[in-house]
Amino acid sequence: MGLSAISELFEAGGVVMWPLLISSILAVGLATERTIFWVKIYKRQERVARNVLNLYQLNNVVGAIEKLRKNIDLPIARIFLFTLELENPTSEEFRLALETEAKVEISLLKRFNHIFDTIVGLAPLLGLQGTIFGLIKTFASLNIGNLAATNKAGLTAGISEDLIATSFGLLVGITTLTFASIFRGLYQREIERIEEYGGHLELIYLRRVQLPEKTYEITQRT
């Protein structure tokens, strides 16, 4: 489809085509950013988290922190690093640090969700508004008293605007909804992973804290 055909299509669709075009460009741009973000996370995050947990379980805290700093662009790495860099935390402080940083990262994981939701709701309404404009143009071109003298060009333009604007609005809305649903599923899955890895880290920490306490109790008894 050439530029002239696209120009004619937009002219026939009416004024609502421009906000629909802006919405579609915005949706594609944000969807591209989110796609790159999620691909990066799913390729590395699970491997990094497991490596760090193994190092921490072997009491290699320095190695675990170094690993986290090398992968600081990952959400799970920032959560773990914030927690492991605490100096002699109690079990309650350790858990609070995990939960606090996890909340910060979760808000970043669902970034742009509200924009996607807005476009999904707004695009079909803009298309419907184009339909209304088209109907107004159609009725304005009708000559009830003399149908033969009816402005056929205006009638055709009005019907065309009805169909094009509505179709484009639905296309933008459906496409954006598809991306939003995929990202929402990834977001829910990532929350589960953060809870899983955070739980493992806390469990290892509690075992490390409780072991010296039990050893001390046994020594006192003997």
DSSP the chain: --HHHHHHHHHHH-TTHHHHHHHHHHHHHHHHHHHHHHHHHHHHHHHHHHHHHHHHHTT-HHHHHHHHHHTTTSHHHHHHHHHHTSSS--HHHHHHHHHHHHHHHHHHHTTTHHHHHHHHHHHHHHHHHHHHHHHHHHHHH--TT-GGGS-HHHHHHHHHHHHHHHHHHHHHHHHHHHHHHHHHHHHHHHHHHHHHHHHHHHHHHHHHHHHHHHHHHHHHH-
Residue 7 falls within a domain, yes or no?
no
pLDDT for the residue numbered 140: 67
Residue 138 falls within a domain, yes or no?
no
pLDDT for the residue numbered 218: 39
pLDDT for the residue numbered 116: 95
Residue 117 falls within a domain, yes or no?
yes
How many independent structural domains does the chain possess?
1
pLDDT for the residue numbered 201: 93
pLDDT for the residue numbered 210: 66
Question: Whole-prediction pTM value?
Answer: 0.77
Residue 72 falls within a domain, yes or no?
yes
Residue 149 falls within a domain, yes or no?
no
Residue 139 falls within a domain, yes or no?
no
pLDDT along the chain (222 residues), means of 10: 66 81 94 92 88 92 93 93 90 92 90 93 90 74 54 56 82 94 92 92 86 44 48
pLDDT for the residue numbered 89: 87
Residue 193 falls within a domain, yes or no?
yes
The parent domain of residue 104 ranges over 13-130+167-215
pLDDT for the residue numbered 162: 67
Residue 136 falls within a domain, yes or no?
no
